[in-house]
Every structure is written in structure tokens, then in C-alpha cells.
């Protein structure tokens, strides 16, 4: 029989526990597909006494996960601890530096240190794999890196954070406000006790930078992502969007053009005719445009024990088969460092929501600001007085330069007519 691929597993939480269960459940099939057995030899987590619902007695327990890199009886280390730095990064550096393959689900670490790690992997001729880091169980890393390898890719965008999509879908279904749905999501375990990485768009931005690099052949560039989360989306935005034929989704959007690389995470109005509008609950989805293949749409579970373990073990099978190609689809030295494209030069439709005082002339003031900035209005909804005495005005603009829409908002800055900060969301028209 061929030599087994010997695995060390750091982290035995949701994903790590799932990997143990999956390797047990599908052992024979995985061995046939991989051409040899995949065998865990050592594991590590913080609390040795915790019952994880799996038999860990057969594996060597290690208290200090960072020592796994140096074991002679290990061919590949799987890191499922998390955190962009700390023990995860130490383990990644030491494992690759020692000439062993490394698998991770850690998008934060790949977004911040992926290039350095890929360079070490290249130098040592070993694999660095991270399929589970973006969109959980959806094979979108393989889709871009392998399936679309022959294409020039112009756009990649999608729903990259299941917590935000769950919150927005619940707000839509129940008509509830953001804070209430977030509290309920936390109670049910769908959102972290500190949800800021998710709801402020940072997690989606980590994933977007990885997708952009693979899609466009550019260096991973987290610093240039413009990030807006979903904290300021109110139930009325979702209701007005629905009345106008849209659903609100948090999208990560990457684009490569002659103007440079553009990356943005933002709540967006998606027309009901677009498949992303129908991606609800905790699902993820990614759209990519290739110049020969056309539009591809990937959809599935972006998180959770089973889907994430599925992606981690797929990486292990690749490694068992001897796949050691470059982590970002080309050698790090070949990745481009393009200029950063400004949002000001972009054109599109926008949704604007104002809460205003109930008095004559307010609507005229808003429409005059838009006229003066050169933005024309496609549709407008004005809702009567709410219990707090405010009136809501929701506007969809015709296609306009983003700088003009911003100029209209700047003109209204400080206006006594506005009783709250206006909301701007872009509209997906591709
Ligand atoms: N959960 C998902 O659906 C999902 C989806 C995609 C990607 N990911 C990524 O997968 C990774 C793991 O996520 P998770 O949800 O499985 O996290 P988790 O449930 O919190 O598990 C983390 C594990 O790491 C262990 N750990 C923490 N600090 C450690 C240290 N210093 N040394 C050794 N072990 C340590 C914990 O030990 P104890 O159990 O003893 O506390 C726990 O077993 C993260 O990078 C995450 O972003 C998760």
C-alpha cells in the first residue's frame, strides 16, 4: 500500500472537529480518490479535557501547536486555530520553512500574510492551500485557480459573509431592525459575541482580497479595499428596496481595468432579476466573468462544520496526489502590483435614503442638490410622517458618476432639513 499522508491538526473547534469526523466517515472513498490513506497523527487545541464528540485518544496530543511543524512523523500541518497573527502565523511560517505542506481555513492570515507564506512555499517546493478560507464549502479557490486559469477575468464579486447575509435576509423576511436581528443571531449562535469583523465588512474584505489576487493575477492587497458594513442599514431601506425591485446584500466587489484594481465591500441593492438577489440566509455565492468562459456563478454553504471540513479535506487530497502548484495561481514574483482605481471614476445607479423633517420645501432642497450635482432621479418614494415625526425619502438615481452622487450628498451636509445621516448604497447592474 502507498505511504499515508501524515497530518497534524492544530485547532479542534467547529472546523477541526469536522475534519476529524469527515476523515472518519469517508475514509475508504478518500483513500481511493487520493491514491493513499490520509491519516491524522497528532492534534492540538487549548483544552485537552474538552469533549469534542470525536475519539481523539488515537492521536498524539500536543499542548503547544507551534511544535507540530517540527515533527518528523508529519507531512502536512492543518491550521484551524484562526487569527491573522499569533500561533497560526508562527505555525504557518515554521511548517512551510521546514519544507512541509500547509493547509488553512484562515482568511485573515492569508489576506495579511499570504504572499510571504506563498513565497516560502515556492522556495521549499511545498503546497500552501486555503480552499476553506473563502466561501467555506464552495470550491471557488479551485474554480478561479484551476477551472478559470485560462481566462482573463474582469470582475469577481459576491456574497462572502454568511452572518451578514443571514441578518439582511431576516430583516427582509421579518421587517425587523438590524439590532434586533443581530441579537437574535447571537442568541442562536449564527453571529459571534463580538460580531464586528462580520458586520463591519472586514471578514468579507479578507476574502475579497484573496479572490481578487487569484482572479486578476495581482498581489493580495487588503489595505486598498474600501469597506462599509451593514450596521447602518435600517428596516425601511430593505422595505423601500423591495418596493423598487431590489434586495439588499453585502457584496465584495473586485474589478481589474486599465484604471487599476478596484476592491470594495459594501451593502448593495441587487435587482430581483440577478441570481445574487436569491442567495438568502447564511449561503454564500461568487460570480466571476472570464473572457472565454463567460459568467460563472458559484453558490453554497460558506461556513459550518461540514462544508468547511469538506474544503479542508479536498486540499489534503490534492496534497496526497502531489499537487504543489503556486498558491496564488502564479509565482509570487509574477503577480502584478497595479494602481488603485478610484471610486470617483465609477458610474452606476445609486440608492439614497433621507430622513427629513416634515415641512414644506425639504423635497425641493434634496432634488435641487441632486440637480446641481448633475444627478438625475429614476424613481422616488416619499413615506408619510412616522411616529417620531420624520419623513422618509428613498431615491434611485439614473446611471451617474459616483463622484456626482457624493457631491449631491456633500451639498446637503449640515442641512437643517435632514434629521439623520443619509444612506447611500450602490446598485448592482452587471
Ligand atoms: N467556523 C466556520 O464555519 C469557518 C468557516 C470558514 C473558515 N473558518 C476559519 O477556520 C478557522 C477555525 O475556525 P473555527 O470556527 O473552527 O474556530 P473555533 O471553533 O473557535 O476553534 C478554534 C480552535 O482553535 C483552538 N485554539 C485556540 N487557540 C489555540 C492555540 N493557541 N493553540 C492551539 N489551539 C488553539 C481552540 O482550542 P479549544 O477548543 O481548546 O478552545 C479550538 O479548538 C478560523 O481561521 C476561521 O476563520 C471557519
pLDDT of residue 134: 97
Is the distance from the beta carbon of residue 161 to the nearest atom of ligand 1 less than 6 Å? no
Is the distance from the beta carbon of residue 73 to the nearest atom of ligand 1 less than 6 Å? no
Architecture of the domain spanning 5-133: 3-Layer(aba) Sandwich (3.40)
pLDDT of residue 1: 59
Those residues with Cβ within 8 angstroms of residue 254's Cβ, 6 or more apart along the chain or in another chain? 155, 156, 157, 208, 211, 212, 215, 216, 261, 262, 263
> Which residue stretches of the chain have pLDDT < 70?
1
207 is catalytic: yes
For the chain, what are the domain ranges?
A: 5-133, 142-299, 344-427
Is the distance from the beta carbon of residue 16 to the nearest atom of ligand 1 less than 6 Å? yes
pLDDT of residue 351: 98
Task: Tell which one of 18, 19, 44, 45 to mutate to probe ligand 1, the residue whose CB is within 8 A of the most ligand atoms.
Answer: 45
**Which residue CA neighbors atom 35 of ligand 1 most closely?**
45
Q: d(Cα 39, Cα 2) in Å, to the nearest integer?
A: 12
pLDDT of residue 385: 73
Is the distance from the beta carbon of residue 54 to the nearest atom of ligand 1 less than 6 Å? no
Quote the cell numbers at residue 88: 497560526
3.30.360.10, 3.40.640.10, 1.10.645.10, 3.40.50.720: which CATH number matches 142-299? 3.30.360.10
Ligand 1 centroid from CA 52, angstroms: 13
Task: Tell which one of 12, 15, 136 to mutate to probe ligand 1, the residue whose CB is within 8 A of the most ligand atoms.
Answer: 15
What topology does CATH give the domain 344-427? Alpha-Beta Plaits (3.30.70)
Question: Which entry of 100, 107, 142, 207 is annotated as an active-site residue?
Answer: 207
Q: Hey, is 59 helix, strand or coil?
A: coil
Amino acid at each position: 500500500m502507498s505511504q499515508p499522508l501524515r497530518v497534524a491538526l492544530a485547532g479542534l473547534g467547529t472546523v477541526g472537529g469536522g475534519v476529524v469526523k469527515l476523515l472518519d466517515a469517508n475514509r475508504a472513498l478518500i483513500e481511493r480518490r487520493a491514491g493513499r490513506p490520509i491519516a491524522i497523527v497528532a492534534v492540538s487545541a487549548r483544552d485537552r479535557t474538552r469533549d469534542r464528540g470525536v475519539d481523539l485518544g488515537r492521536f498524539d496530543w500536543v499542548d503547544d501547536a507551534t511544535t507540530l511543524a517540527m515533527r518528523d512523523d508529519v507531512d502536512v500541518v492543518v491550521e484551524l486555530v484562526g487569527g491573522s497573527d499569533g500561533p497560526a502565523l508562527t505555525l504557518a511560517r515554521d511548517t512551510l520553512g521546514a519544507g512541509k505542506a500547509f493547509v488553512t481555513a484562515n482568511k485573515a492570515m492569508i489576506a495579511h500574510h499570504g504572499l510571504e507564506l506563498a513565497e516560502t512555499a515556492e522556495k521549499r517546493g511545498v503546497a500552501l492551500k486555503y480552499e476553506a478560507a473563502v466561501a467555506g464549502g464552495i470550491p471557488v479557490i479551485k474554480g478561479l485557480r484551476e477551472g478559470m486559469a485560462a481566462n482573463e477575468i474582469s470582475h469577481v464579486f459576491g456574497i462572502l459573509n454568511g452572518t451578514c447575509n443571514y441578518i439582511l435576509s431576516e430583516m427582509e423576511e421579518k421587517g425587523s431592525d438590524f439590532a434586533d436581528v443581530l441579537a437574535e443571531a447571537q442568541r442562536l449562535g449564527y453571529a459571534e459575541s463580538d460580531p464586528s469583523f462580520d458586520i463591519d465588512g472586514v471578514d468579507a474584505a479578507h476574502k475579497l482580497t484573496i479572490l481578487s489576487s487569484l482572479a486578476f493575477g495581482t498581489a493580495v492587497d487588503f489595505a486598498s479595499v474600501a469597506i462599509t458594513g451593514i450596521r447602518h442599514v435600517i428596516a425601511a431601506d430593505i422595505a423601500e428596496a423591495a418596493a423598487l425591485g431590489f434586495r439588499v446584500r453585502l457584496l465584495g466587489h473586485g474589478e481589474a481595468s486599465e484604471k487599476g484594481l478596484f476592491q470594495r465591500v459594501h451593502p448593495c441593492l441587487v435587482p430581483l432579476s440577478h441570481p445574487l438577489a436569491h442567495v438568502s440566509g447564511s449561503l454564500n455565492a461568487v460570480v466571476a466573468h472570464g473572457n472565454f468562459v463567460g459568467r460563472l456563478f458559484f453558490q453554497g454553504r460558506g461556513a459550518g462544520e461540514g462544508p468547511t471540513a469538506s474544503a479542508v479535506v479536498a486540499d489534503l487530497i490534492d496534497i496526497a496526489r502531489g499537487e504543489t502548484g503556486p498558491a496564488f495561481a502564479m509565482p509570487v514574483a509574477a503577480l502584478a502590483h497595479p494602481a488603485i482605481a478610484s471610486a470617483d471614476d465609477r458610474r452606476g445607479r445609486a440608492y439614497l435614503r433621507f430622513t427629513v423633517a416634515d415641512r414644506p420645501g425639504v423635497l425641493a432642497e434634496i432634488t435641487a442638490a441632486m440637480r446641481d450635482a448633475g444627478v438625475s432621479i429614476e424613481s422616488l418614494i416619499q413615506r408619510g410622517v412616522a411616529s417620531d415625526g420624520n419623513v422618509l425619502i428613498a431615491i434611485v438615481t439614473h446611471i451617474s458618476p459616483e463622484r456626482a452622487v457624493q457631491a449631491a450628498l456633500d451639498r446637503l451636509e449640515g442641512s437643517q432639513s435632514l434629521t439623520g445621516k443619509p444612506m447611500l448604497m450602490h446598485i448592482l447592474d452587471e
